């Protein structure tokens, strides 16, 4: 079945440093979504990427979707303590069910003030 690999599993940074998490799918994706889960909280939708090579920005967050629609990345510039949490990518496989998002294991980001 489809697999979505996400690296790194953990990342600890000093406040102000940049952070990147990468997501790779074993199959081509129709779209990819990113979610953030704060400690003790639930996943909250951040963004969706649909087009090959798409880049979207939300303030200090930059999201990219690969040309082959099999990989994606989330980059945070100048991290803040409010960025702490686990970032998940979730891919919808091409040609499959419209409901079966496959989630990566997530990257847990901790920020040292």
CA 64 to each of CA 11, 21, 54, 73: distance values in angstroms, whole numbers, following the listed order: 19, 11, 6, 5
For position 53 contacting another protein by CB under 8 A, the verdict is no
**CB contact set of 106 (below 8 Å; sequence gap of 6+):** 6, 9, 37, 86, 87, 88
Beta sheet of 71-76, edge-to-edge order? 4-7, 19-25, 71-76, 61-65, 55-58
Sole binder of another protein in the list 90, 107, 109, 111 (CB under 8 A): 90
Residues 23-42 within binding reach of another protein (CB under 8 A): 30-31, 33, 35, 41-42
Q: How many residues bind another protein (CB under 8 A)?
A: 26
Residue 19 CB, nearest approach to another protein (Å): 20
> Binding to another protein by residue 108, rule CB under 8 A?
no
Q: What is the contact surface with another protein in residues (CB under 8 A)?
A: 4, 30-31, 33, 35, 41-45, 48, 50, 88, 90, 92, 94, 97-106
């Amino acid at each position: 079945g489809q697999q979505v690999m996400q690296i790194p599993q953990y990342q600890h940074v000093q406040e102000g440093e940049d952070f990147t998490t990468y997501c790779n799918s074993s199959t081509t994706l129709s779209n990819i979504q990113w979610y953030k889960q704060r400690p003790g909280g639930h996943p909250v939708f951040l963004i969706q990427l649909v087009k090959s090579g798409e880049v979207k920005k939300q303030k200090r967050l930059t999201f990219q979707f690969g040309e082959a629609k099999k990989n994606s990345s989330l980059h945070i510039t100048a991290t803040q303590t409010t960025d702490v949490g686990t970032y998940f990518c979730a891919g919808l496989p091409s040609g499959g069910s419209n409901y079966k998002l496959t989630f990566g294991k997530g990257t847990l980001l901790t920020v040292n003030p």
